[in-house]
Chains A and B, each alone.
Chain A
Amino acid sequence: MRSAIHFASAALALAALASVAAPPALAADTPNPAADARAFQKYFIDKFPKLKLADFVNGPYSLNEDMHKQWEEKEQFPPYEFSLDMGKEMFSKPFKNGKSYADCFPNKGIGIRQDYPYFDDKEGKVVTLELALNRCRVANGEAPFSYVKDEMAALTAYMAFTSRGKPFDIKIPNDPRALEAYENGKRYFYTRRGQLNFSCASCHVQNPGERIRAEILAPALGILNAMPIYRSEWGGMGTISRRFTTCNVQTRGVPLDPQSDEYRDLEYYLSYVSNGLPISGPGARP
């Protein structure tokens, strides 16, 4: 009987989610990232008229007054501090060959988070910060880290921390492959997948600020600015890769490999449409 009630409430929740989707206007065929980003930001500004643009980087904490109070307390003593310290230590420690992370990045890796991901014209693909960090390790004879947590989260936490306040500055060069990567990311974002038939947008465009069980859904605008995050639900830190794979699993889809082309393109798209919003990572979420 208990399971019947659960099922009924799940069905209700799904129905509620489905009914909110507004039918948008007809699709234009030529991709226009600049117009996309403007429309994307306008959608969220119209949806949450009380918020300033920069508030969106704090996700659900900007949408709910009680949560905002909790967050202010939390930020005095943020749970990502241990990870941040670990990242700082790792970042300054040289590899076995004497080189360090600083040698792999422009400006020695300090204050550059807002420029990632970027389109690499030699490879013809999108390169994310997590990918660049592991490539840096491999190029210097070190084993790559897991993309989803611990060390990778610590390193990206430190790199985001040194870039706090700098606005996302993702560029799409005049290269058909870059535009294609952007479009692929956009398609991934809006495509429904998994047995529950959710797209990224089902939650983070159509229902930000609404509850899904006890959680308040974050708006897609500015969602990556706060990465990596300490999720109380996870009991630890998670990277962008972790966020993408767990989102897929939660809709009962088999996740792709972290840093597969689709995820790289998705990160490219999502970061681009948040251009102009400040980096706020590392973040903390319930």
Chain B
Amino acid sequence: MRNITRISRLVLASLLLMAAATSAMAAASEADFKTAYAAAETANKEAGALRDQWTVTATALAAAKKAADAGDFDTGVSQSREAEALAKASIFQATSEKDAWKDRAIR
């Protein structure tokens, strides 16, 4: 029980920290969003060419678009960055798997 309290305290503290960090930043503009979103889309297209897109990337992209459409560019930018990071991770996966699969094949 004590552990749980400690964890929730930690979570609360980090949430507060994050909130403080976001409010300290200047609000993102539509231009910021467009740049971040385009970068994420480019990375995801590259993952598509490698035939290894992730569903979570698409989810983050959709969330970014939805937030931006509602005028919330802060969320739009952060979700775009999330999507870009995920897309880049999938590119990394596809690239490192290019030869790695051979070691797994039964022979």
Contacts and interface: CB of A to CB of B under 8 A. Distances in A.
Interface of A: 1, 4, 21, 23-25, 27-28, 35-36, 39-40, 43, 186-187, 190-195, 197, 199, 201, 205, 249, 252-254, 256, 262
Given A191-B97, A193-B52, A193-B93, A254 B58 contact: yes
Contacts of A24: 103-107
Given A23-B103, A253-B53, 9 more contacts: A1-B8, A25-B107, A27-B102, A35-B107, A190-B105, A194-B55, A195-B90, A201-B104, A249-B55
A192 B54 contact: no
B86 interface: yes
B21 interface: no
Interface of B: 4, 7-8, 48, 51-58, 86, 89-90, 93-94, 97, 100-107
Interface centre among B89, B94, B100, B102 (most CB of A within 10 A): B102
A39 B106 CA distance: 6
Contact of A193 (B7, B94, B103, B106): B94
Nearest to B89: A195
Contacts of A194: 52, 54-55
Contacts of A249: 55
B30 to A, nearest CB: 28
Given A27-B107, A39-B106, A187 B52 contact: no
Given A4-B7, A253-B55, A192 B93 contact: yes
What are the nearest 7 A-B pairs in CB distance? A254-B53, A190-B101, A27-B102, A191-B101, A195-B54, A43-B106, A190-B104
A192 B97 contact: yes
A28 B105 CA distance: 10
Contacts of B94: 193
Interface centre among A21, A191, A262 (most CB of B within 10 A): A191
Contacts of A4: 7
28 contacts: A1-B7, A4-B7, A23-B103, A24-B107, A25-B107, A27-B102, A27-B105, A28-B107, A35-B107, A36-B106, A36-B107, A187-B101, A190-B102, A190-B105, A191-B101, A193-B93, A193-B97, A195-B86, A195-B89, A195-B90, A197-B93, A201-B104, A205-B104, A249-B55, A252-B55, A253-B55, A254-B54, A254-B58
A194 B89 CA distance: 10
B24 to A, nearest CB: 28
Contacts of B8: 1
A186 B105 contact: yes
Nearest to B86: A195
A253 B90 CA distance: 9
A40 B106 CA distance: 6
Contacts of A254: 48, 53-55, 57-58
